[in-house]
Amino acid sequence: MSDFFKDRRIVITGGAGFLGGYVIDGLKKRDCRNILVPKIDDYNLINDADIVRMYDDMRPDIVIHLAAVVGGIGANLRHPGRFFYENLMMGVQLIEQGRLRNIEKFVAIGTICAYPKFTPVPFKEDDLWNGYPEETNAPYGLAKKMLLIQSQAYRAEYGFNSIFLLPVNLYGPGDNFNPESSHVIPALIKKCFDALDAGDDHIVCWGTGRVSREFIYVTDAAEGILLATERYNGPEPVNIGAGFEITVKDLAEKIANLTGFKGEIRWDPSKPDGQPRRRLDVSRAKKLFGFEAKMPFDEGLKRIVGWYQENRVKS
């Protein structure tokens, strides 16, 4: 590993969150001496005054903007306005204040939800503007997508070095298992263990199960972000993914098997499926900064199921 991070002051927004903890671990392995995490109790990054104060207090060389208001399909349906406003305000103001201070680099983390609903598979970065996002998460996806526009506009006018990364859905130990806001893998794991606790003979899952998804293990995602932070300084968006897809039905069956749930998996087609298919083209990340995901999916699932089994509180 190089000494790129050693003496730079690195601010990690969202550093107290799921992905943030793994990014911080990656920085520590790179001997970074100045890792700065703005806690929400001290800095509400939706408010411009708090962002100004954070920059004044922490004086970063680089900002890695992981903080987001995010959730699964249900949370997106309940809070489209909140998800749009808060994600947009955080990102736009953080980039503007970074630009005013002429920081060395801003790393904006987007989302696969920014892609059009019917993007050809695998999703290539050049397809980002060829349609409207899937409706259930469009406000969130578009708010994040505006940070790409801002990054490119600020680079063109001010020479501001802001890069934009598009990670696919994350999973791994420490994930969010709150049924109000969790994504599909932790939600299915919790459903299976809850059914086992209750002695239920079935679980009910949203949609048809026919849609496909891609997932990246959280340590791989953190490594991709840090490699891009060190090595990539261009205007084009870059996917961070594992380059595969699995149907939600097959996923549910894998998780049921790993948790020991032997009951029926019932599907509720009255609930939305979300985007029909998801799989990223990951060639740009490999070409531009040498990133490839390492964790085999089955092994990653075993690790998150094992972690949850050890750490859960039984209902």
CB of 206 closer than 8 Å to CB of 72? no
Q: Which of 140, 154, 171, 217 is catalytic?
A: 140
Parallel, antiparallel or unpaired: strands 246-247 and 212-213: antiparallel
Report how far residue 51's alpha carbon sits from residue 297's, in angstroms, rounded to the nearest whole number. 38
Location of structure tokens 């489209």: 80
Return the DSSP state at 134.
P
Nearest-angstrom CA–CA distance, 196 and 187: 14
259 CB-side CA count, 13 A:
29
* Alpha-carbon torsion angle 191, 197, 201, 204, nearest 10: -20
- The verdict on whether 140 is a catalytic residue reads yes
Q: Which amino acid is at 73?
A: I
Residues carrying an active site annotation: 140
